[in-house]
């Protein structure tokens, strides 16, 4: 067996740490079977982690560190982790962290969370990292059990100041028209006014891309629009770098699992706004949203949001989840807010010093912001994904 595997205990439990791409491929069928049985989000699937690892642009400073728990020959739990070097500090974090909105362990139904605690302790014993940072943790996530204050279970994780916000549109609704009518008269007029302006001397169409429609041109257009938006806002987002295979690889995972929903707003056949979404468990999730700024006067992103939310309601969605990020436009639509937690802990003296330095820097920036009577970047949007993931604050 490739990787760090311990001997089985009396119950047949065996812990393993996957560190090679070869072993990652080998465990694919077992991991996917567990993912299906657990009914977990796509971010916890083997396909998502493998796609990330195959496309990650800075692999020399990263390493796989996926902790597995087996009961005899059955995979019962996965902690999808990886290491990354930050200024000489080896940080243990979620695999695909920069591209995953909700991160968590994967646990087979009927198996208690104590196994995840044993996996965490095993990771500490195996070593190879200075500090641990686990972000984008939902209040209902399994890994919250690692932070109950119990000692002797590996690196002690404590709440970290970085948090993320998830904004959602939550039903039930009688129908999409009832949802639309629930908005203010001004909001509905802005929608109609924008649509009329955009349609001036042109044909405007909102549609869901067909499953057999080539994705390449649409994703290329998406990346171009996102790069332009990032340039205007002084951000960097590797997901949309020219020539990067990451966006296409992750979208293909959604398509292969029949979760993908790409909505486009076209003007004379040219995409002026689009959103790459996934739908799981009656929830429509907006992964990447973008629009053409040359039509900003018409607010095509706003039009698209109204249209795809209505489509989602008509097709059985009980929730529309904007995923991570607290951009202003999301507040105009959402009626529920969820805070995602993050946790950090030091394993070595270097790791503990790095965490203290990070906290000190945050405190200094917050003090400076208060002195200038304006919010700091971290205070205004304390989302650790930031420019590393998919900024969606456009419409």
Strand partners of residue 63: 83
Fold for domain 4-164+340-388?
Answer: Aminopeptidase (3.40.630)
Strand partners of residue 165: 339
Average pLDDT over residues 219-225: 95
Average pLDDT over residues 145-171: 83
Q: What is the pLDDT of residue 5?
A: 61
Q: Would you list the domain boundaries of the chain?
A: 4-164+340-388, 172-317
Q: What is the pLDDT of residue 4?
A: 61
Q: Provide the sign of the torsion angle of the four alpha carbons 196, 202, 205, 206, taken in this order.
A: negative
Average pLDDT over residues 280-297: 95
d(Cα 395, Cα 392) in Å, to the nearest integer?
8
Residue range 172-317, CATH number: 3.40.630.30
Average pLDDT over residues 35-39: 97
* Its pTM surpasses 0.75: yes
Q: What is the pLDDT of residue 382?
A: 31
Residue 391 has pLDDT above 80, yes or no: no
In tens, the pLDDT along 83-135 reads: 999 989 999 999 999 999 999 999 999 999 999 999 999 999 999 999 999 99
Q: What percent of the chain has pLDDT over 90?
A: 78
Residue 394 has pLDDT above 50, yes or no: no
Q: What is the pLDDT of residue 49?
A: 98
């Amino acid at each position: 067996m490739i990787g760090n595997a311990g001997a089985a205990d009396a119950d047949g439990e065996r812990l393993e740490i996957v560190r090679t791409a070869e072993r990652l491929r080998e465990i694919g069928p077992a991991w996917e079977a567990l993912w299906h049985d657990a009914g977990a989000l796509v971010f916890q699937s083997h396909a998502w982690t493998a796609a990330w690892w195959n496309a990650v642009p800075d692999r020399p400073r990263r390493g796989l560190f996926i902790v597995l728990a087996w009961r005899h020959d059955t995979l019962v739990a996965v902690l999808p982790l990886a290491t990354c070097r930050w200024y000489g500090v080896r940080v243990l974090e979620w695999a695909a962290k920069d591209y995953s909105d909700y991160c968590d362990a994967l646990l087979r139904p009927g198996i208690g969370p104590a196994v995840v605690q044993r996996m965490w302790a095993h990771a500490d014993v195996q070593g190879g990292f200075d500090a641990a940072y686990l972000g984008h943790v939902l209040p209902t996530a399994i890994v919250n059990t690692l932070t109950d204050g119990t000692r002797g279970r590996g690196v002690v994780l404590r709440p970290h100041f970085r948090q993320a916000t998830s904004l959602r549109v939550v039903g039930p609704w009688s129908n999409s028209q009832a949802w639309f009518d629930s908005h203010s008269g001004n909001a509905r007029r802005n929608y109609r006014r924008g649509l009329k302006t955009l349609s001036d001397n042109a044909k405007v169409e909102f549609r869901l891309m067909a499953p057999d429609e080539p994705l390449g041109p649409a994703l290329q257009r998406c990346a171009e629009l996102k790069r332009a938006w990032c340039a205007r806002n002084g951000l960097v987002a590797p997901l949309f770098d020219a020539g990067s295979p990451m966006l296409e690889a992750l979208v293909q995972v959604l398509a292969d699992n029949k979760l993908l929903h790409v909505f486009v707003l076209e003007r004379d056949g040219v995409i002026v706004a689009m959103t790459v979404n996934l739908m799981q468990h009656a929830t429509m999730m907006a992964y990447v949203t973008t629009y053409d700024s040359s039509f900003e006067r018409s607010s095509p992103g706003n039009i698209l949001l109204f249209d795809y939310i209505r489509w989602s309601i008509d097709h059985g969605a009980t929730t529309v989840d904007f995923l991570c990020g607290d951009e202003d436009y999301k507040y105009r639509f959402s009626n529920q807010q969820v805070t995602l937690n993050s946790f950090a802990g030091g394993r070595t003296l270097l790791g503990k010093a790095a965490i203290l330095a990070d906290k000190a820097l945050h405190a200094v920036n917050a003090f400076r912001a208060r002195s200038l009577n304006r919010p700091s970047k971290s205070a205004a949007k304390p989302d650790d994904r930031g420019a590393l993931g998919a900024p969606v604050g456009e419409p």
